[in-house]
Structure 1
Amino acid sequence: MHRGSCLCGAVRITVEGDLPPPNACHCVACRKQTGHFGASLDVPRSALTIEGEEAVRWYRSSEKVRRGFCGTCGSTLFWDPIHRDWTAIAMGLFDGPTRTSLSMHIFVSEKGDYYQIGDGLPQNAQ
């Protein structure tokens, strides 16, 4: 079991089971939402429990996706594909060790020009 929370603690999460490897997304939308690039992992909705859900605010960034953030402190929380049975959780939410590590970089064709990716992980253009 893994626990986490936003910066102010208004939203708390619990994830049952092991965490899958996260990815780093360099798309424009993730960069604008997080201030840099986004790192998240996908979990089945059935494995995710959210406490303080009334503090979660949703921004519909496309017809297929909504992005969740804390309405109190503004922390990035979720990337949620509306017609899927999983939710991406921002890595910054987790308290304590996650026992996982980045698996790849995605949307590197949209990455910022102010940094380089040099960790040797796979880089997907989209």
Structure 2
Amino acid sequence: MTKQTGGCQCGAVRYRARGELGYPHICHCRMCQKAAGNYFLPLAAATRITFELTRGAPKWFQSSDLVRRGFCGDCGTPLFYDIPDADFINITLGSLDDPDAVRPVMQSSTGRKMSWFHAIDDLPVEPLPETPDRENAIAASNHQHPDHDTESWPLGERL
């Protein structure tokens, strides 16, 4: 059985979903843009019976009368789009430990899609990659939770 794990940037909130995620899509609506602090929000649904929080608890913002948004109260990572009466919860695909494993199959609310998205692949690429010294300095000072479950976080600390 497929298992997807994920969580926030700081590791305070972690989750697990067993089985395939349904309707992986990219939402361009203005609420999702604001919730993500980005141009769109990739989401996919996990049934409630296959979904569990494995560490911590999200904070919630009621973005409309129908929907609430779950996020980490410590680092602010957007994690969930939740319709409380539904039998599923939507997970933000960027919060997955392996976001490349779930490919969106649809777009929604394209009326709010950025008019210039078609030109992204034509943008120039920064010519110089990170230097090894800078990469090593970032790696040595990285406070981001790794992309896998840990017994405790920060490492060596019991939660």
**Which range, TM-score by smaller chain?**
0.7 to 0.9
CA distance in 1, matches of 2:23, 2:47: 14
Percent of aligned positions that are identical: 34
**Is it true that 1:8 corresponds to 2:10 in the alignment?**
yes
Shift of the 82–21 alpha-carbon distance from structure 1 to 2, 3 Å rule, reads closer
- The answer as to whether partners of 1:21 and 1:100 remain within 8 angstroms in 2 is no
- The answer as to whether partners of 1:19 and 1:98 remain within 8 angstroms in 2 is no
How do 1:1-126 and structure 2 match up within 5 A? Answer: 1-36=3-38, 37-54=40-57, 56-96=58-98, 99-116=101-118
Match of 2:154 in 1: none
- The answer as to whether partners of 2:62 and 2:69 remain within 8 angstroms in 1 is yes
Once the two structures are superposed, residues 24-79 of structure 1 have per-residue CA deviations (whole angstroms, 9 ceiling, x without a partner) of 0000010111122000101111111112343x110001111100010000000000
Match of 1:124 in 2: none
Q: TM-score, normalised by structure 2?
A: 0.67
- For residue 55 of structure 2, what is the amino acid of its counterpart? G
- Following superposition, the deviation at residue 114 of structure 1 comes to 4.4
- The answer as to whether partners of 1:20 and 1:100 remain within 8 angstroms in 2 is no
- The answer as to whether partners of 2:41 and 2:92 remain within 8 angstroms in 1 is yes
- Following superposition, the deviation at residue 101 of structure 1 comes to 1.1
CA distance in 2, matches of 1:116, 1:57: 35
Larger strand percent: 1
Shift of the 109–4 alpha-carbon distance from structure 1 to 2, 3 Å rule, reads same
Match of 2:143 in 1: none
CA distance in 1, matches of 2:89, 2:54: 15
- For residue 51 of structure 1, what is the amino acid of its counterpart? T
- The answer as to whether partners of 1:69 and 1:75 remain within 8 angstroms in 2 is yes
CA distance in 2, matches of 1:88, 1:28: 17
Larger Rg: 2
- For residue 52 of structure 1, what is the amino acid of its counterpart? R
- The answer as to whether partners of 2:27 and 2:42 remain within 8 angstroms in 1 is yes
How well do the aligned residues superpose, as a CA RMSD in angstroms? 1.9
Shift of the 39–19 alpha-carbon distance from structure 1 to 2, 3 Å rule, reads same
Larger helix percent: 2
Runs of at least 5 residues in structure 1 that lack an aligned partner in the other structure:
119-126
Higher mean alpha-carbon deviation, 2-11 vs 106-115, is at: 106-115
